[in-house]
Amino acid sequence: MCCGRSNSQIATVTQNASVPVTLRPDGTASISGGSRFQYVGKTALTVVSPLTGKKYRFNQPGERIEVDARDQSWITFVPHLVRVA
């Protein structure tokens, strides 16, 4: 039990959550509504989301990667990552 709810109530809320998804030509899915972030550090950087478990790999300075919409709130606080249009 968490926050006054049983596990089955929490699972139902999670299962019914509406998140826009886009299918890529290769058959993989992408969460829509994400933003791109650019790495402005000096080497490479790997960041693992504590929310979704996704791994974001910036191989070189200046590289831009689309970040899942669910991860945007915390990734804005990672040093050397800047949101880009």
Q: Which residue has the tokens 């504590």?
A: 50
Confidence of residue 85 (pLDDT cuts 50, 70, 90): confident
Instruction: Quickly count: other Cβ atoms within 10 Å of residue 20's Cβ.
Output: 10
pLDDT digits (tens, 9 = 90+) for 18-74: 445 555 566 555 555 679 999 999 999 999 999 999 999 999 999 999 999 999 999
